[in-house]
């Protein structure tokens, strides 16, 4: 492996970065590598990807807001009034009036006491979870929680307990065992995704909140894929289940999906927000949102409040597409949301399906291990309110043609 002995007999690697290529080549060999395509223009239903006109079928842009004229206008106006960047982190000199306005608007939209905006959703989880709990505490986590939650949990140094996916009997078991722990845990935090991004199913947050209340456990929900989709006017999973803020203590979300822009956020009590912006290092030590981003986020809330048709259309499209795919014989799992996985099993099959779909004019990416189990590779489709019924029929026909060609259906 290119080793040599140094002056004192120590083994020295001739090329200490050789493992980078070796591990990448192993990923390619196993068909587990990501091959990035290039979006050349806005994220619209029909867009240009790698020079080819295709139907966008895998974007998180649920409501089509990323190219909405009100968001673009707000962003351009903010550049004129506030410049291209904030110039600092928020605790020092980067706390603009636009950031304050955004958080007030978000809290009002969420029916929460207060909200705090992070640079990304990942930054929210990685920066807040380790501050809420630490050594001597316990985190209880759904086994299918996604990567940014997992990384936040690892950074916390708290003990961990995992319950079977959305299994409330197993959660009850974990909670009862936690109560018997000696010495008693100082704090216990339960964390769950609201909508699970690979399967599209919804956490039973009402049952989770009830169980946690009985055991004195803090509840943290990552609602990245529920905002703009679930609840009254797209207000998310807390609204969907009509839960009180004293039942769900931290509602984390993102502007990067249904809101059509970028950025993470949390909503809850004023105490939570005061605690977070004084203790959360990803917030404290990262530059604040550029003015056009903050302004576009404000505009996205305006659109959700004044144009309810986007959420309605999203669900109409979702029901139509799911029924058609199920009728054709595709395995679409247990999805309850606009995320519709087309599960094919082997990674190679998922990649071939994605390639053929692209050739037929559909941009839909394969999801393979380790993002899903090795035998559960899939094409993850995500519905978009900006699509038309004609677009959906085009996609369904392509899936039917290629599904038969590859002997999936």
Quickly tell me which residue has 């085009």 as its tokens: 394
CA distance 85 to 80: 11
DSSP β-ladder status, 264-268 and 3-5: unpaired
Name the phi and psi angles at 132, rounded to 5: -75, -35
Please confirm whether the linkage preceding 192 is cis (ω < 30° from 0).
no
Please report which residue ranges of 161-246 form alpha helices under DSSP H: 168-179, 205-215, 237-240
Question: Which residue in the list 59, 66, 197, 288 is annotated as catalytic?
Answer: 197
Rg from Cα positions in the chain? 23
Tell me if residue 197 is catalytic: yes
Q: How far apart are CA 288 and CA 99, in angstroms?
A: 8
Candidates 250, 276, 231, 263; CA nearest to 109 is 231
Q: How far is CA 133 from CA 28, 138, 159, 290, 378, in A?
A: 39, 7, 9, 31, 35
From the candidates 99, 110, 225, 265, give the one annotated as an active-site residue: 225
DSSP notation for 59-102:
-S-TTSGGG-HHHHHHHHHHHHHH-S---SBTTTT---HHHHHH
**Rounded alpha-carbon distances, angstroms, from residue 392 to 39, 210, 355, 395:** 21, 39, 19, 5
**Selection from 401, 400, 405, 362 nearest residue 381 by Cα:** 362
Structural tokens at position 15: 């090329």
**Residue 183: is the preceding peptide bond cis (ω within 30°)?**
yes
Any catalytic annotation for residue 7?
A: no
Which among 146, 257, 265, 322 is annotated as catalytic? Answer: 257
SS3 content of the chain, % helix, strand, coil (to 5): 45, 20, 40
Q: Where are the alpha helices (DSSP H) in 205-346?
A: 205-215, 237-240, 270-279, 281-284, 291-306, 309-328
148 included as an active-site residue:
no
Instruction: Report the C-alpha gap between 296 and 26 in whole angstroms.
Output: 42
Please list the active-site residues: 197, 225, 257
């Amino acid at each position: 492996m290119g080793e040599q002995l140094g002056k004192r007999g120590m083994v020295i690697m001739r090329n200490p970065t050789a493992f980078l290529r070796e591990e990448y080549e192993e990923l390619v060999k196993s068909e587990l590598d990501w091959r990035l395509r290039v979006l050349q223009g806005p994220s619209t239903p029909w867009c240009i990807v790698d020079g080819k006109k295709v139907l966008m079928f895998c974007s998180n842009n649920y409501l089509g807001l990323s190219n909405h004229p009100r968001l673009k206008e707000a962003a351009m106006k903010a550049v004129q009034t506030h410049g291209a960047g904030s110039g600092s982190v928020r605790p020092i000199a980067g706390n603009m009036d636009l950031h304050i306005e955004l958080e007030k608007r978000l809290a009002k939209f969420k029916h929460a006491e207060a909200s705090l905006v992070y640079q990304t959703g990942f930054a929210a989880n990685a920066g807040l979870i380790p501050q809420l709990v630490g050594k001597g505490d316990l985190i209880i986590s759904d086994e299918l929680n996604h990567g940014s939650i997992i990384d936040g949990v690892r950074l916390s140094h708290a003990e961990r307990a995992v319950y079977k996916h959305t299994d409330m009997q197993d959660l009850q078991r974990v909670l009862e065992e936690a109560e018997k722990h000696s010495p008693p845990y100082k704090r216990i935090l339960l964390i769950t995704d609201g909508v699970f991004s690979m399967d599209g199913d919804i956490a039973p947050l009402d049952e989770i909140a009830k169980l946690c209340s009985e055991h004195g456990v803090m509840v943290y929900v990552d609602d990245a894929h529920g905002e703009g989709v679930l609840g009254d006017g797209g207000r998310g999973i807390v609204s969907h289940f009509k839960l009180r803020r004293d039942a769900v203590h931290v509602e984390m979300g993102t502007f990067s999906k249904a809101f059509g822009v970028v950025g993470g956020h949390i909503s809850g009590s004023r105490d939570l927000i005061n605690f977070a912006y004084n203790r959360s290092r990803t917030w404290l030590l990262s530059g604040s949102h550029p003015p056009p981003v903050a302004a576009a986020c404000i505009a996205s809330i305006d659109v959700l409040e004044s144009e309810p048709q986007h959420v309605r259309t999203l669900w109409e499209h979702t029901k139509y597409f799911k029924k058609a795919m199920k009728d054709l014989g595709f395995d679409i799992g247990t999805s309850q949301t606009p995320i519709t996985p087309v599960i094919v099993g082997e990674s190679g099959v998922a990649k071939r399906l994605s390639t053929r779909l692209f050739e037929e004019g559909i941009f839909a990416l394969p999801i393979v291990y380790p993002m899903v189990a090795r035998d559960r590779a899939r094409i993850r489709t995500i519905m978009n309110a900006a699509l038309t019924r004609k677009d959906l029929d085009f996609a369904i026909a392509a899936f039917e043609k290629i599904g038969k060609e590859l002997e999936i259906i």
